[in-house]
């Protein structure tokens, strides 16, 4: 059994076949072209022709923005919604005569990790995905938790007070892009970490602030939801020293709090670029598969 998985991001669209063990094959991709969204559906259909001869049981879609399986819409809160978010899933269902599932990309990422990745075997999981902004997702008692407004896991909206006493959201001040904005708009997160390891004073200051905010959030989330593990993903997760740096910063915080009773378990996300394809497929299986939850 194979599913056709589609991962629609702000920069690229990834396509691939995913089997019942979460293995991905026959991958391809093409640019999203956010300035040409009116051509998206025709470009997608052209790329899907390469899968015409494959035996496909269903279509699983991951997309940036909020997704509604009930309404079969994607991209809410994003220009994608108006461009094709209300029509494309139904178009695929009608054209291929196959069941279609839709899910937010952050939720797909944690579903992949919980199914066959770093969170396999855990009942309660939080993921924090750090890139140009900050997102994430929550699993409670082996079930994806979305919240009343589908916003559970949108940790980037958490508030931090700045040195000027103004409040700002974590996505602005604590993301990889936030590091770049503090350091130099013409550099990257990778370069900042390189200079951190070379003991550049400015890089040390920026990275220490980055990890302090991340450690505080991990500490708070441990007491809010008490997960088995907190996963960290996104581009920053490629930094080899990520987990030790977060753990050391959490220890610094805990050492100043005598009443603390638990140390959060932190782990790196296992999957990189394929996470959303795998997680979208797991979401499809949860809805349409015969052996739900397996």
Q: What is the per-residue DSSP string for 48-73?
A: HGGGTTS---EEEEEESSEEETTTTE
CATH classification code of 2-104+273-289: 3.30.420.40
pLDDT of the residue at 292? 47
> Which pLDDT tens digit goes with each residue over 224-262?
999 999 999 988 888 999 999 999 999 999 999 989 989
> Which pLDDT tens digit goes with each residue over 175-234?
988 898 888 767 888 899 999 999 999 999 999 999 999 999 999 999 999 999 999 998
Rounded CA-CA distance 153/275 in Å is 17
Averaged pLDDT score across all residues of the chain = 92
pLDDT of the residue at 234? 87
Residue 238's nearest CA partner among 141, 129, 143, 138 is 129
pLDDT of the residue at 118? 97
pLDDT at 293 over 50: no
Rounded CA-CA distance 86/100 in Å is 13
Residue 77's nearest CA partner among 21, 172, 150, 5 is 150
pLDDT at 291 over 70: no
Asked if 276 contacts 62 with a C-beta cutoff of 8 angstroms, the reply is yes
pLDDT of the residue at 290? 58
For the chain, helix (H) and strand (E) counts, in that order, are: 10, 14
pLDDT of the residue at 134? 92
Q: Quick one: 118-269 is in which CATH superfamily?
A: ATPase, nucleotide binding domain (3.30.420.40)
The encoded tokens of residue 176 equal: 């990889």
Q: Do domains 2-104+273-289 and 118-269 have the same CATH topology?
A: yes
Rounded CA-CA distance 134/218 in Å is 13
Rounded CA-CA distance 243/230 in Å is 11
The encoded tokens of residue 175 equal: 């993301």
Which residues face 12 on adjacent strands? 31
Asked if 188 contacts 180 with a C-beta cutoff of 8 angstroms, the reply is yes
> Which pLDDT tens digit goes with each residue over 24-74?
999 999 999 989 999 999 999 999 999 988 899 999 999 988 999 999 999
Rounded CA-CA distance 19/71 in Å is 26
Q: Could you tell me the residue ranges of all domains in the chain? A: 2-104+273-289, 118-269
Residue 179's nearest CA partner among 198, 195, 159, 157 is 195
> Which pLDDT tens digit goes with each residue over 94-133?
999 999 999 999 999 999 999 999 999 999 999 999 988 8
Rounded CA-CA distance 34/161 in Å is 33
Average pLDDT over residues 82-104: 95
Rounded CA-CA distance 268/129 in Å is 10
pLDDT of the residue at 200? 93
Q: pLDDT grade, residue 11 (50/70/90)? A: confident
Rounded CA-CA distance 170/111 in Å is 24
Q: How far is CA 206 from CA 159, 194, 253, in A?
A: 18, 12, 18
């Amino acid at each position: 059994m194979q599913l056709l998985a589609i991962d629609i991001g702000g920069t690229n669209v990834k396509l691939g076949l995913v089997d019942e063990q979460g293995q991905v094959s026959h991958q391809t991709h093409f640019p999203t072209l956010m300035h040409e969204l009116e051509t998206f559906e025709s470009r997608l259909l052209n790329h899907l022709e390469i899968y015409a001869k494959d035996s496909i049981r269903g279509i699983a879609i991951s997309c940036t923005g909020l997704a509604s399986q009930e309404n079969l819409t994607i991209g809410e809160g994003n220009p994608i919604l108006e461009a094709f978010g209300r029509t494309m899933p139904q178009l695929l269902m009608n054209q291929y005569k196959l069941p279609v599932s839709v899910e937010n990309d952050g939720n797909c990422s944690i579903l992949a990790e919980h199914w066959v990745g770093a969170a396999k075997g855990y009942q309660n999981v939080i993921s924090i995905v750090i890139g140009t902004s900050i997102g994430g997702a929550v699993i409670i008692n082996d079930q994806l938790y979305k919240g009343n407004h589908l916003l559970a896991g949108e940790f980037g909206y958490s508030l931090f007070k700045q040195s000027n006493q103004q409040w700002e959201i974590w996505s602005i001040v604590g993301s990889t892009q936030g590091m770049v904005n503090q350091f130099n708009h013409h550099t990257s997160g990778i370069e900042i970490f390189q200079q951190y390891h070379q003991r550049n004073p400015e890089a040390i200051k920026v990275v220490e602030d980055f990890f302090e905010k991340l450690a505080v959030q991990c500490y708070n989330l441990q007491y809010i939801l008490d997960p088995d593990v907190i996963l960290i993903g996104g581009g920053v997760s490629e930094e080899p020293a990520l987990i030790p740096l977060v753990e050391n910063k959490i220890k610094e915080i805990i050492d100043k709090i005598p009443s603390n009773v638990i140390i959060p378990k932190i782990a790196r996300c296992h999957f990189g670029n394929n996470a959303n394809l795998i997680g979208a497929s797991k979401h499809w299986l949860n809805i349409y598969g015969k052996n739900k939850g397996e």
